[in-house]
Structure 1
Amino acid sequence: MEQARSRRAEGSAETCAADARTEAAGAPPRPRAGDEVRERGAAVGSTRGEHTHSEPPIPRPRLEEGPLAERSALGGLPGAGQGSFGGVPSGDGGRRPAVQRASVRGQILDALRTALVEGELTPGEVYSAPVLAERFGVSATPVREAMQQLALEGAVEVVPNRGFRVAVRGARELAELAEIRALIEVPVMLRLARTVPAERWAGLRPLAEATVRAASSGCRATYAESDRAFHRAVLALAGNEQLVRIAEDLHRRAQWPLVGGPATPGRAELLADAAEHTALLDALAAQDLAVVQSLVREHFAGAA
């Protein structure tokens, strides 16, 4: 028996050493205990209540600035170079770094959020985690976790035995979000206008200019990210982290496209929205409270 245990130990050591040599050479490691179970679990997503037949085609949203690029450490992203679910070259002609295991859930979440903003995940349609996972080239677990987060944010809803349905939003919901944002942020900005010195507002001008550059690209997702960054920086001057988090959640919801509403804003609309950021900074620095209040309310009501 001692000899049998010794042989098993030696075999285990040889397997680990072989895996280490294989991984060092860049090839995928040999399957380990539990891998087969996890893979089998991802493959049978339908038995967990996620049917994948008759599902709408998975979109390939653009993510030139997005997080999922090049090839994944989990085996590679299918369709490289063809959209957000594949790889794209970086702006300097190189390739973006591979997706890391520890951050794959967050990167998938970012990619799905971008697809929502771009309207490439169709409102009212149901998407299953296993099918999305296959497109990402990962297991269903991080995709399911990302979709659960989107459900908490109100972007999708869980459909038992099927997957996740993209929320359908109308003009009334957008108006309600604008009203709530104004109720929260207008008093804060008026207080900041009275207390923050002009030089602090000057320090935020690069962020306002960044929104103009993003608007010039015509990419709604790129502009949405820079728009949130600007508003986040303004509210951060209040020193209330909870306020910043709540306001950003409302802001993100307001950026999702409407169903049956106006067409997705183009470059001209985005540029007009971005120009209001510079005007707001001018009014804040001048402590012109009436203009600050008017600009903020109009900006929320006509948010791109």
Structure 2
Amino acid sequence: MDPSGLDAVGALSHETLGDRVTGELRMLLIAGRLGPGEKLSLRRVAEALGVSMMPVREAVSRLAADGALEVLPGRAVRVPVLTLAQFRELTRLRLLVEGFAAEEAARVADEAGIEVLAGHEAAFQRAARAALPDAAAAVAANRELHFALYRSAGMPSLVEMIERLWLKAGPILNLDMRHEPRRLDGGSAVVAHAALLDALRRRDAAAARAALVADISAAAAHIESTGRLAP
């Protein structure tokens, strides 16, 4: 587990601790700070967040029920390793749900919202095109761009659905980006993001969906080729 990721969140107050610990762990999973197969030390989590073991166990139970964490024999906890079939199912669902969000965003996003997306894309390009690519910054900028897009559709329940998909897909998606930072510069994500922003500015819903689908599909195809998925 990435110690800096937990240390950065700081101690929590004693109000609704189960919910808040769940939220922190959700964000670590979505952000790819916890990788597939990585074991989670509940004591380490409790110490980093300044809470007792009880809310941590509660949070783990919730995330295990969602399939985002896996409780092994002996009560060990780890991030699940997706099978190829599971990954392909998640990809199909992401194409449908996130593609729809991109269409809706193209119809309703205002200029200010589009410029926020452009800012995240600029940050992604800076990280990707640096002499020594900053994979962590690129991962963060990519996530911020995607979720700013989905929020701009103005459908909070849709964003919740997408977050649930990223809970399972996030670790493998971001592990791929972190392990191969050189693939970022001039890669498919840069091209797809540019096409997405152009479609949003033109209010072209079909083109926005196509750009988002191209982004997800290219990343998924590469991940399948790396052999990091279970049979």
TM bin (shorter chain)? 0.5 to 0.7
Deviations 1:104-155 (A, max 9, x none): 77468646864792555x61x7656357657877532233233224313422
Is residue 237 from structure 1 mapped to residue 149 from structure 2 by the alignment?
no
Aligned partner of residue 181 in structure 1, secondary structure: helix
2:32 to 117, 131, 144: 117
Where does residue 106 of structure 2 map in the other structure?
193
CA-to-partner distance for each residue in 1:206-258, whole Å, 9 max, x for gaps? 12223334554112xx5444333222221222221100111122133222228
Residue in 2 that maps onto 1:80: none
Matched, 1:218 2:135: yes
2:89 alignment counterpart: 176
Alignment of 1:222-301 (within 5 A): 222-257=137-172, 265-271=179-185, 272=187, 274-275=189-190, 276-301=192-217
Q: Is residue 106–residue 200 contact of structure 2 (8 Å, CA) maintained in 1? A: yes
Q: Given residue 119 of structure 2, which amino acid in structure 1 is its aligned partner?
A: P
Q: Deviations over 1:86-115 (max 9, x none)?
A: xxxxxxxxxxx9524448774686468647
Contact 2:69 / 2:77 at 8 angstroms: preserved in 1? yes
CA RMSD of aligned residues (A): 3.8
| Counterpart check, 1:99 vs 2:11 | yes
Structure 1 position 281, deviation (Å): 0.8
Calculate the TM-score normalised by the size of structure 2: 0.68
Structure 2: gaps spanning 5 or more residues: 221-231
TM-score by length of 1: 0.54
Q: Give secondary structure in 2 for the equivalent of 1:249.
A: helix
| Per-residue Cα deviation, 1:269-297 (whole angstroms, up to 9, x for no partner) | 34435523233111221244553232211
* Partner Cα separation in structure 2 for residue 173 and residue 190 of structure 1: 26
Q: Which residue of 1 aligns with 2:7?
A: 68
CA distance in 1, matches of 2:182, 2:140: 18
Q: Which has the higher contact order (CA 8 A, sep 6+)?
A: 2
Q: Can you give the 5+ residue segments of structure 1 that lack an aligned partner in the other structure?
A: 1-58, 70-96
Letter in 2 for 1:68: D
Report deviation, 1:169: 0.8
State the AA in 1 paired with 2:180.
G
Aligned counterparts, 1:132-143, within 5 A: 133=46, 139-143=52-56
Aligned counterpart, 1:83: none
Length, aligned pairs only:
210
1:294/1:142 Cα in 2 relative to 1: closer, same or farther (>3 Å)?
same
Aligned counterparts of 1:239 and 1:231: Cα–Cα separation in 2 = 14
Once the two structures are superposed, what CA deviation does each residue of 1:179-207 show, in whole Å capped at 9, x if it has no partner? Answer: 11121232342344345455652343112
Distance (whole Å) between structure 2 residues aligned to residue 118 and residue 175 of structure 1: 22
- Aligned residues of 1:108 and 1:146 also touching (Cα < 8 A): yes
Distance, in Å, in 1 between the alignment partners of 2:75 and 2:96 is: 38
Partner SS state of residue 82, structure 2: coil
